[in-house]
Chain A
Amino acid sequence: MAEKHFIVIGNGPAGKEAAFTLRERDPESRITVISKGRASSYTPHLLPDLVAGKIQEEDLYGCSLNSYAENDIKLRCCQEVVDLNLLKNEVVLEHKEVLSFDGLIIAVGGTPRIPENLLAYKDLMYTLKTLEDAKIWVKKLQQSESVLIIGGDLTSLVLTKALIHLNKKVSFILNEDAFWPLRYDDDLFKEAAQRLTDKGIKVLYDRNIKKIEQLQDGTNKVQVDDQVLQVGMVGAFFGLVPDIGFLAHSGLRIDRGILVDKHLNVGVENIYAAGDCAQIYHPDIKDYWISIGYENARMLGRTAALNLNCGCREEEVKPESIFEVQGININTTWWTEF
């Protein structure tokens, strides 16, 4: 019998965990990880600590390339999947190579979302998703004493902690998208705003950003409704858009991410999704949910791999712990730990 070929698309926390779990459970199979990124792999959840100056760049790197070789996992870096053919169980790479698979785990990451009405100011807003993003924050913060954060998600809050650590003056606009899938209402806004205010952060009650322009001295003039602010930097945290454009013609069910069942299966035999791209209905919040944070991503990657390899193993949906990330309870009150 020919060896099975498992492909994992994505080499972030979910993809990496999936690949190594597959190897752990199946010493004989052929495993290929396809990554858009470069070979070096770092732990993204530590990026705010890098911005804060609490760690150095080398502290980000956890998994050496040798570990892939030692586990007989073929890592293809700087390669992009552009199509998935479900009829033939093939993925098409940008350089036109076609790879067949017996099992597939889609664990691609996401790109920071900039809302359509703010795209014109994209170049003036900074995100924090990659090491390059973190380096820009470090560099720009050397000349900036004040920062306007638009957000409310875990990354924006952890970054805000870093900014306080650096004694920067922080203003905050709580953004509805950052709270998805939670219902954003006045009560939620008031509670989150109070907690931020208690830490000395100025929370803006006006929320409609009308214009951002860069002044000659490098600072930014931001018009928020009828109010004008002048800040050194603007941080944008509107959530992530999963990088799943390549699935547009695949026939998979796509919403904000790839819709998966409780086993992380996409509705097609032997194809699973995990991490930032997997969207799952969560009965406790009565809504769909996409994994938040490093540990969740790893757990989902592992679950997908186990299910692919061993049949259905239910994802451990524990209402109190599924949103538990690095010790911070982010279920419906993640900002309370702020």
Chain B
Amino acid sequence: MKSNDENDNSVVYSTEPEDFYYMDINVPCQAACPALTNIPAYIRALYEKQYGQSYEFNRMANILPGILGRICSRPCENKCRHGESELGQPVNICHIKRAAADLQDKVPLPIAEDLPTFGKKVAIIGSGPAGLAAAHDLATIGAHVTIYEAMDQPGGMLRYGIPEFRLPRQIIKAEIDRILKLGINLKTNIRVGTDVAIEALVDRHDAVLLAAGCYQSNTLHIPGEVLPGVYPGLEFMMDVCKDQPPELGSRVLVIGAGFTAFDCARSALRLGSQDVRICLRRTEEDLVVTKDEIFEAKAEGIRIESLLLSRRVIGQGKVEGMEFVRTHPGELQPDGKRRISAIEGSEFILPADTIIMATGQKPVPFDIAARKDDSGIPTADRKTYQTSMPGLYIAGDYLSGPSTVIEAIAMGRWAAEKIAEDIIGRRFRELAVRMEDTQITDRQRAWDFIPRQEMPTVKPIDTRLTGMDGEVETGYDSRMAEEEAKRCYLCNLHYEIDISRCIYCRYCIDVAPRDCIKLVEKVETNEVGAITNLVETKDWEAVNAVVIDNQRCIRCGECMRVCPVDCISVTRVELVEKMAQSETQNG
């Protein structure tokens, strides 16, 4: 369905499948963001020095821009078209997000008194990213939200799983405070299941969302794992974040490949360990942590040991080392990872005084009368977030297992939408493709050659290792932020040739910086009517159209500037959230 904006006829909203398909393919950064953050829009706003607007474009989708601008896993950057093989490096999307948060003029959020209310009560268990995101959305539409938090501070893994040198506590506090100002009631130091039963919460509320995260470390089940000097990664990080770190030896091995492993290793250095190594089953190339994280860890002196598998912890009464075998990466599995096999006979020992097992974590079981999996963890439908207990929903890492902050936020928001739909009988938001004719941008071809602006960090390295609280990344200033923002191609601009007016002069093809404008014999579409392939031809007689391939186009605007008949138009296309048009009944 397509509809015009009530106030502006030049704006069209579409919910047609073909338009969603177009967005998926042609604005890959936004499609890659689990929260569907409108990335080109916030980058452009920042370039225009509209820092508050840039922050808001973020906040509307991902709720916590200042936090995510520091620790997001950045799936968007892996899809950024600037990173295609002959186009250079991806835009530093995450750092621009942080710049928006750092440079914004503190746009006021609505406060509780401004919001509607409809008398429904929702309890949320856990104040991590998923719980906060759900609380935000539900409070915004008028629910009375109470968050129950087991720890004495809100934030979940943000507060207790990420060290302060990566995520300063005042940033967490500021962004959570803004959410709480929506009228959310936060109750800390209440462990649901111990201090209050889930069933009691379900009885007292219209809905309860269990977003308690994953707080139980996985074990490797190898001999020696319980020797003194072996620490589960999550417990270690939580002790560090509570300012109660354990005594570490000089030589530390961290087993694991995720952000927690890197946080543990970098924390160990700051706690005085001299020789810290991260041990991987796979290769450095396979790591999911960001390149920046790997670089900074190495710069601080951490060594990365790849292709090894833990066999047993060595030691008499305390840790003395770890026996490993070498591994061989085999064929790709359906999850995209390579199968790892041990090379028998390759046993060797790395000496260590401390071993930190950062090999993932899982949810803590709840003893409630809802359907559970084999481990005793309550389960929920992945689309409705409903459990078998009426009124109880699950979201975030508790449902999905360990994920990223942005994934947890996205799931928290989707769960809030489902809860709202169930308790008030209608959807409160829907996705649409917003289309607006626009003028050619002022983007210059020379901007394609601006080098990626690397994040400034504290130097010399030694000075950052003296404590846990000094933030390592110091942030872009406005000049660096603007330079990086210029690099964005603005893939949300759709270029199109009006073939009824085209005179086939091919000037546009002559000036195109890459093969983005094509002489086409046939346009192939899929079942929803979206273009899937342009069949090119070199036979002039067979040419039926000159078509801009927006998947190849880098939005330089050269074609539009040379077109003698002005038949090339630009439309800004954006995937946006809007108030739902239609009402649906509960159930």
Residues of A bordering B, CB below 8 Å: 82-83, 92, 94, 96, 115-117, 119-120, 183, 210-211, 246, 248-249, 251, 253-256, 259, 281, 283, 286-288
Residues in A neighbouring B338, C-beta threshold 8 A: 253
CA gap between A291 and B514 in the complex, in Å: 39
User: Number of A-B pairs whose CB atoms are under 8 Å?
Assistant: 59
Assess the B326–A96 pair: CB atoms within 8 A.
no
Closest A residue to B325 by beta carbon equals A286
Q: How far is the CB of A90 from chain B (nearest CB, A)?
A: 11
Closest A residue to B282 by beta carbon equals A255
Assess the A92–B86 pair: CB atoms within 8 A.
yes
Further 14 A-B residue pairs, CB within 8 A, beyond A251-B332, A286-B346: A116-B295, A116-B298, A116-B299, A120-B459, A210-B460, A248-B285, A253-B338, A254-B283, A254-B285, A255-B306, A255-B307, A281-B326, A287-B326, A287-B346
Q: Tell me if A's interface is mostly helix, strand, loop or mixed.
A: mixed
Instruction: Check B443 for interface membership: any CB of A closer than 8 A.
Output: no
Q: Decide: A82 near B283, CB < 8 A? Known: A116-B295, A117-B301, A286-B326.
A: no
Residues in A neighbouring B459, C-beta threshold 8 A: 120
Chain A to chain B contacts (Cβ below 8 Å), 11 pairs: A82-B86, A92-B85, A116-B296, A117-B298, A183-B348, A211-B460, A255-B283, A281-B328, A286-B326, A287-B348, A288-B307
Assess the B86–A94 pair: CB atoms within 8 A.
yes
Q: Which 8 A-B pairs have the closest CB atoms?
A: A83-B85, A116-B299, A116-B298, A255-B283, A254-B285, A286-B346, A117-B299, A253-B329
Residues in B neighbouring A286, C-beta threshold 8 A: 326, 345-348
Instruction: Check B284 for interface membership: any CB of A closer than 8 A.
Output: yes
Closest A residue to B275 by beta carbon equals A176
Within 8 A of A (CB), among B400-423: none
Q: How far is the CB of A263 from chain B (nearest CB, A)?
A: 14
Q: How far is the CB of A330 from chain B (nearest CB, A)?
A: 20
Residues in A neighbouring B345, C-beta threshold 8 A: 283, 286
Residues in B neighbouring A94, C-beta threshold 8 A: 86
Q: How far is the CB of B474 from chain A (nearest CB, A)?
A: 15
Assess the B461–A117 pair: CB atoms within 8 A.
yes
Q: How far is the CB of B395 from chain A (nearest CB, A)?
A: 33
Residues in A neighbouring B346, C-beta threshold 8 A: 281, 283, 286-287
CA gap between A283 and B344 in the complex, in Å: 10
Assess the B300–A117 pair: CB atoms within 8 A.
yes
CA gap between A115 and B294 in the complex, in Å: 12
Assess the B299–A253 pair: CB atoms within 8 A.
no
Of residues B85, B307, B328, which shows the largest number of chain A Cβ atoms within 10 Å of its Cβ? B85
CA gap between A111 and B461 in the complex, in Å: 24
Assess the A96–B301 pair: CB atoms within 8 A.
no
Instruction: Check B373 for interface membership: any CB of A closer than 8 A.
Output: no
Closest B residue to A183 by beta carbon equals B348
Assess the A255–B284 pair: CB atoms within 8 A.
yes
- Give a binary string over B302-329; 1 marks a CB under 8 Å from any A CB, 0 the rest: 0000110000000000000000001011
Assess the B462–A96 pair: CB atoms within 8 A.
no
Instruction: Check B368 for interface membership: any CB of A closer than 8 A.
Output: no
Within 8 A of A (CB), among B443-496: 459-462
Instruction: Check B343 for interface membership: any CB of A closer than 8 A.
Output: yes
Q: Decide: A288 near B299, CB < 8 A? Known: A94-B86, A96-B86, A255-B283.
A: no
Residues in A neighbouring B300, C-beta threshold 8 A: 117
Residues in A neighbouring B328, C-beta threshold 8 A: 281
Within 8 A of A (CB), among B266-312: 283-285, 295-296, 298-301, 306-307
Q: How far is the CB of B312 from chain A (nearest CB, A)?
A: 16
Of residues B86, B306, B348, which shows the largest number of chain A Cβ atoms within 10 Å of its Cβ? B86
Assess the A281–B86 pair: CB atoms within 8 A.
no
Assess the A249–B306 pair: CB atoms within 8 A.
no
Residues in A neighbouring B332, C-beta threshold 8 A: 251
CA gap between A123 and B121 in the complex, in Å: 63
- Give a binary string over B347-360; 1 marks a CB under 8 Å from any A CB, 0 the rest: 11000000000000
CA gap between A246 and B284 in the complex, in Å: 16
Q: How far is the CB of A87 from chain B (nearest CB, A)?
A: 14
Q: How far is the CB of A208 from chain B (nearest CB, A)?
A: 8
Within 8 A of A (CB), among B326-383: 326, 328-329, 332, 338, 343, 345-348
Closest A residue to B308 by beta carbon equals A287
Closest A residue to B280 by beta carbon equals A255
CA gap between A116 and B459 in the complex, in Å: 12
Q: How far is the CB of B363 from chain A (nearest CB, A)?
A: 33
Q: How far is the CB of B338 from chain A (nearest CB, A)?
A: 7
Q: How far is the CB of B207 from chain A (nearest CB, A)?
A: 44
CA gap between A287 and B345 in the complex, in Å: 11
Residues in B neighbouring A183, C-beta threshold 8 A: 348
Q: Which of A117, A246, A251, A281 contacts B343 (CB 8 A)?
A: A281
Residues in A neighbouring B299, C-beta threshold 8 A: 116-117, 119
Closest B residue to A115 by beta carbon equals B298
Assess the A253–B85 pair: CB atoms within 8 A.
no
Closest B residue to A92 by beta carbon equals B85
Assess the B514–A96 pair: CB atoms within 8 A.
yes
